[in-house]
Structure 1
Amino acid sequence: MEVKILCLVLLCVTVLSYIYAPIPDNIEEIWKVKAVDSVAKTCAFMATLFEYIGLMKYEDIFLTLSSLHLTKPVSDENITVIDTKFSDIPVCLYLPKKKSEILRPAIIFIHGGAFVLGSCKAAAYDDLNRWTANKLDAVVVGIDYRLAPQYPFPAAFEDCVSVIKFFLQEKVLAKYRVDPTRICIMGDSSGGTLTATVTQLLQNDPKFKGRIKAQALIYPGLQSLDTSLPSHREYAHGPILSREMTIKLACLYVTEDKALPQAILKNEHMPEESRHLFKFVNWSDFLPEKYKKNHVYTEPVLGKLKASYPALLDSRLSPLLASDSQLQSLPLTYILTCEHDPLRDDGLIYISRLRNVGVQVTHDHIEEGVHGALSFTRGPVFLDLGLKLRDKYITWLEENL
């Protein structure tokens, strides 16, 4: 009993210490964000501790929490929700019930979760997809791709490609009465990564070129070469998403070897032969001046990690590695970034590179925004910010799809 009481006291002290940790003043609904931030940091602390003592793997706590928010495919008065498979990959379809005289647009939704967590059936994503289908009178396809570490790179990418190619077949589009000229791929966080990589592949494939009208990326992570961008430094401790948590989870998509996240945290993970790739992610060339602030660019230490991870050089993991000629063919693009987000600068660099090669980009930057806000649009923690992000994205779709 004394041990249990001691553990409870330690847990309470940990939570309180995180609640009263400093957070930027201009964040909307700051006390709600503080609460979410404290829970995230406490989970990360417990995950590190439990893994150290051999009780469970680092990701298991997060997997348990995320599983609590899964929903079942329940239809409502406006939307029919169907669980099915496309090319043997589970998908969740959202189909408007009202009859339409014209063919409908379609949105292909790719969820976030650092390639390790999440599902398109998570409650907040289910709400988003229902809202999208109903508001736009659109067909929505949510992809439940395979997750790491059980299915490492490039499993998630390959699943998304398989589903989208299946959906783009004429007979499938006809079955769901989808307009083949009005299809958008959308994703948040690591789902934004997958959206970018899949869109690059399809637009540079002669068979599928021009089949995707638009892509939408919500606070995406777009590169793993340099983990010391200004936003990585400024928001290394969050709020909500910390640099260490992101790296520990996302590395599982590449390997379970602990040497990689340790090297990435020091920015010493890239091999010598990657030197020519840094021109694509050099923030000193692509970030707007206001985001450079007083930061000084220093090239990561190359060749220190002895193990070899080819995925780190692959544009299917880091879409910012695509050349300018590969980016030129990309469709209409929407990118939403949040100020208080360690991944902020990935999106800002991509915007600069796309605009430099003539891609039409709409950019919404939320000054009071935090990473993951779109996942907090229903209880137990409800953020108005999440609805603000959703409405900006939906408005763009209404105007452009």
Structure 2
Amino acid sequence: MRKKTILLLTMGSLGAYYVYTPLPNNIEEPWRLMGMIAVSNTITNLFLFAEFLGINHFMNIAMFFIFLIEVPPTSDENVTVTEATFNGIPVRVYVPRRKSETLRRGLFYIHGGGWCLGSAAMLSYDFLSRNTANRLDAVVISTNYRLAPKYHFPIQFEDVYRALSWFLRRDILEKYGVDPERVGVSGDSAGGNLAAAVTQQLLEDPNVKVKLKTQSLIYPALQNLDLDLPSYRENSHFPILPKSLAARYWSEYFTTDRSLEKALLLNQHVPVDSSHLFKFVNWSSLLPEEFKKGHFYNTPTYGSSELAQKYPGFLDVRAAPLLADDTQMRGLPRTHVMTCQYDVLRDDGVMYVTRLRNNGVQVTHTHIEDGFHRAISFLNLKICYRMINQYIDWLRENL
């Protein structure tokens, strides 16, 4: 009996240690979030162990399980949901059922997932698109794109650009009853990266006559030159998106060669002949004091040119929109950037806000003080609905 008691106490203590994750005091519903983190960590560790055993690539295993939380394109009493292809790219289309006397807003949404995971069919993205379409009386196009590790940059960018360019054709907008003067693009995380990148590219494309009215970016990943920002230091081990996972996502976007990931983690991947690019991501001049919080800027440590020669994509403005020069930024549309305090990507978004404002772009910055990465996708947490409300409210006023 005594042995059983000791065993139960030991197992209980180990279980409590595994489940308990210290969280900041201002996090809402901390115990519910802890439980979700414990489940996520368990699954992630199993995937990593399977990869270690050589069963399959970590991202391929994760994507298999993501299929299990996808939902079919089911219409409801408010929104008609269908699937289509835009210039060969599969998309999901959300159209309000109620009749409209005028042309509707149009929103092109790009899912996140580190360029490796996710789809428009995931429950959280279906929920967001469905709610956006209904509450804004808008046509929402939620796009897919080919994913790493099978496909690398610039495939993801090109897929999204092809689908968006197709949607912006006047005959396609007319088909869906969309006002060409009220079209916006949006995305979260890696989707926010792609949204910012394609918006910049559209400015230089004479073949696309319809221009975007807005871009709305939710905790976007906008640069990979410096992974030693204050937000990376403060949230290096924060669950959901620790620095190690962020570096792996960035690396997988360009190659399955893990040497780039290692260099990213050491912040020694940019060659000296690309040193001029650091001025675009120098947080010491681009972050407001509230986000510096006593951090000191480290002079970049340069890496060999070998990685940049093999995988030049990580220095490409289409992969890292913060590398755009000032002339590229000046013509960008009205912008909304949503950042979260407990997110390694926080300072990417804040620096983008600063650079846009410096170049005369109208920007709204919504900072979620108790937010964390992927919070807008956690449908069983209150913060998710608070963020969705703020997101849709901005679109209602600006799109």
- Interval containing the TM-score (normalised by the shorter chain): over 0.9
Q: Deviations over 1:197-222 (max 9, x none)?
A: 00001123234366100000001110
Specify the code of the residue in structure 2 equivalent to 1:45. Answer: N
Residues in 2 aligned to 1:11 and 1:130: alpha-carbon distance in whole angstroms:
43
> Is the CA contact 1:187–1:217 (under 8 Å) kept in the aligned structure 2?
yes
Write the mapping of 1:287-306 to structure 2, written as runs, cut at 5 A: 287-304=287-304, 306=306
2:321 maps to which residue? 319
Write the mapping of 1:150-299 to structure 2, written as runs, cut at 5 A: 150-208=150-208, 211-299=211-299
2:145 maps to which residue? 145
Residues in 2 aligned to 1:78 and 1:141: alpha-carbon distance in whole angstroms:
16
1:5 maps to which residue? none
Specify the code of the residue in structure 2 equivalent to 1:60. Answer: N
- The residue matched to 1:226 in structure 2 has which SS? coil
1:135 maps to which residue? 135
Residues in 2 aligned to 1:54 and 1:368: alpha-carbon distance in whole angstroms:
39
| 1:20–1:305 Cα change, 3 Å | farther
Specify the code of the residue in structure 1 equivalent to 2:150. Answer: Q
> Is the CA contact 2:105–2:179 (under 8 Å) kept in the aligned structure 1?
yes
Specify the code of the residue in structure 2 equivalent to 1:383. Answer: L
- The residue matched to 1:270 in structure 2 has which SS? coil
| 1:189–1:77 Cα change, 3 Å | same
1:345 maps to which residue? 347
> TM-score if structure 1 supplies the norm length?
0.93
Cα shift at 1:28: 1.2
Specify the code of the residue in structure 2 equivalent to 1:365. Answer: H
| 1:64–1:14 Cα change, 3 Å | farther
Specify the code of the residue in structure 1 equivalent to 2:72. Answer: K
- Unaligned stretches of 5+ in structure 2? 1-9
2:332 maps to which residue? 330
Specify the code of the residue in structure 1 equivalent to 2:381. Answer: L
Q: Deviations over 1:99-157 (max 9, x none)?
A: 11100010000000000000011101101111111111110001011111111101111
Residues in 2 aligned to 1:323 and 1:14: alpha-carbon distance in whole angstroms:
52
> Is the CA contact 2:186–2:216 (under 8 Å) kept in the aligned structure 1?
yes
Paired residue total:
388
Residues in 2 aligned to 1:113 and 1:297: alpha-carbon distance in whole angstroms:
29
Cα shift at 1:18: 4.0
- The residue matched to 1:306 in structure 2 has which SS? helix
2:3 maps to which residue? none
> Is the CA contact 1:18–1:37 (under 8 Å) kept in the aligned structure 2?
no
Residues in 2 aligned to 1:115 and 1:15: alpha-carbon distance in whole angstroms:
33
What percent of counterpart residues are identical? Answer: 47
RMSD across aligned positions (CA): 1.8
| 1:92–1:258 Cα change, 3 Å | same
Q: Aligned match of 2:366 in 364, 376, 379?
A: 364
1:6 maps to which residue? none
- The residue matched to 1:99 in structure 2 has which SS? coil
- The residue matched to 1:68 in structure 2 has which SS? helix
- Unaligned stretches of 5+ in structure 1? 1-9
1:80 maps to which residue? 80
> Is the CA contact 2:59–2:149 (under 8 Å) kept in the aligned structure 1?
no
Specify the code of the residue in structure 1 equivalent to 2:302. Answer: L
Residues in 2 aligned to 1:60 and 1:13: alpha-carbon distance in whole angstroms:
34
Residues in 1 aligned to 2:276 and 2:287: alpha-carbon distance in whole angstroms:
19
Q: Deviations over 1:23-79 (max 9, x none)?
A: 211111111221222233333333333222223322234223322210101111111
2:394 maps to which residue? 396
- The residue matched to 2:69 in structure 1 has which SS? coil
| 1:12–1:168 Cα change, 3 Å | farther
Specify the code of the residue in structure 1 equivalent to 2:68. Answer: L
- The residue matched to 2:306 in structure 1 has which SS? coil
Q: Deviations over 1:226-271 (max 9, x none)?
A: 1111101110112321111122233211000011111111111112
1:309 maps to which residue? 311
Specify the code of the residue in structure 2 equivalent to 1:325. Answer: T
Residues in 2 aligned to 1:270 and 1:160: alpha-carbon distance in whole angstroms:
27
- The residue matched to 2:360 in structure 1 has which SS? coil
